[in-house]
Amino acid sequence: MWSKYVNFLKEITDKDRVVICFDQDGDGISSAVILSKFFERNHITNFNYVPFRRHSRDQVAEDILKYDPTKLIVLDISAEEYPEFTSRFTEIDFMVIDHHRTDIHSDEFLILKPEKIGFEKSYQYPTAKLVYELCSKLVNLEDISWLLAVGLISDSCDKTWFEDIQNIYSHFNFELKSNIHETIPGLIAQIVNSATLVSPKRTKEAINLLMTKTSKEILKSSLAELNRDINYEIKRIIDETKQQEKNNLIIMEIEPKYAVAGIVGNKLSFKNLDKTYVIITKYKDHAEVSSRSQSGKVNCSKMLKKAISEFEDSNAGGHIPAAGAAFPIKYLEKFKSNLIAQF
């Protein structure tokens, strides 16, 4: 099941020009760093990073092509959903490693998904683990397995892979606490995610930290200070934002200092397991949505896709417990009524 993906990596040499395009979250960043560590151990040094931006896919494609790559690896992005994006790379050896299920197939590039290796609950098999398992078939990565823990925690998959967590914490003598987010990898996951809420520049700073610093050094970094400020903003939003409730649906509209909607949704949904949260971040010309539901009774991805199905220049997708959407701001009221109609 793994052979064609392993062969893709084996065929990369020090003469190749590699671009790693990654989603700007804890899973995507951890995946990029694990892959980079793999390249370094194979004496492949000519690789560059391009953060993915869903609303600027044309620019992302241009940024990738500037490096004139011979190999392209896209991480934690269901790139197959964007044919206008992938069509730019028909002359490049190209692989997608991702855990967002789409059931879209391609003859133009490789797609590694959890279901391709027999794991059906794709949302519980984060990209960091896919990359770690793939690269580990060629080199031993146990000494950097703490990066896998960061990815697992970032995508709330630590309980599914608790045996991995136990082994990693034992190997590095990390204290395992009842609240995983208070452990060293948990704190690092918060710090990495904080970087992604500010700008691509801070995202690359996060990659540099994970590539070059120890866990203790990361906890004392400037991004750790940023994380504290973001946590204050999250608390303010939770305490002060009005909640519009219908049955077990809760809608919140926010205009935050940082893009914290997903974190707000995570905190509230894990505290109130029977509720479905839809956090709407309002911008001048568009709205971005994060939805969270931990009950297993609501498919957030399907719910959001249905709510925007008649909108132009809109998109939605994700997993059962966590999904996102974006649409022009003119559709805001219609979007809310479409959601409410589903409950």
How far does CA 255 lie from the centroid of its chain? 22
Amino acid symbol at 232: Y
Confidence of residue 259 (pLDDT cuts 50, 70, 90): confident
Please provide residue 121's backbone torsions phi and psi, each rounded to the nearest 5 degrees. -85, 75
Whether residue 200 is predicted with pLDDT greater than 80 in this model: the reply is no
Query: Quick check: 199 pLDDT over 80?
Result: no
The amino acid at 315:
N
Q: What is the pLDDT of residues 50-108, one digit of tens each?
A: 999 887 899 999 999 999 999 999 999 999 999 999 999 999 999 999 999 888 888 89
Q: What is the mean pLDDT of the chain?
A: 95
Run of H or E residues at 179: none
In terms of DSSP H, where are the helices of the chain? 3-10, 26-41, 57-65, 83-86, 127-136, 146-154, 162-172, 184-196, 200-212, 215-219, 222-240, 261-271, 300-307, 332-340
pLDDT of residue 165: 98
Q: Classify residue 204 by burial, with Cβ atoms within 10 Å: 0-12, 13-18, 19+.
A: middle
Q: According to the model, what pLDDT value does residue 60 have?
A: 97
- Residue range 174-199: mean pLDDT, rounded: 90
CB 22 within 8 A of CB 195: no
Full set of structural domains in the chain with CATH: 3-178 (3.90.1640.30), 241-340 (3.10.310.40)
> Quick one: pLDDT band at residue 23, thresholds 50, 70, 90?
very high
Q: pLDDT value at position 241?
A: 97
pLDDT at position 121 is 87
Range of lowest pLDDT (31-40, 91-100, 190-199):
190-199
Q: Which pLDDT score, from 0 to 100, does residue 219 have?
A: 95
- Quote the percentage of the chain above a pLDDT of 70: 99
Do the beta carbons of residue 276 and residue 300 sit within 8 Å? yes
| pTM: predicted TM-score of the whole model, two decimal places | 0.80
In the predicted structure, residue 4 carries a pLDDT above the cut 90:
yes
Q: How confident is the model at residue 204 (pLDDT cuts 50, 70, 90)?
A: confident
* The residue type at 135: C
What pLDDT sits at residue 319? 87
User: What is the predicted pLDDT for the residue at 245?
Assistant: 96
pLDDT (tens digit per residue) in 310-336: 999 999 998 899 999 999 999 999 999
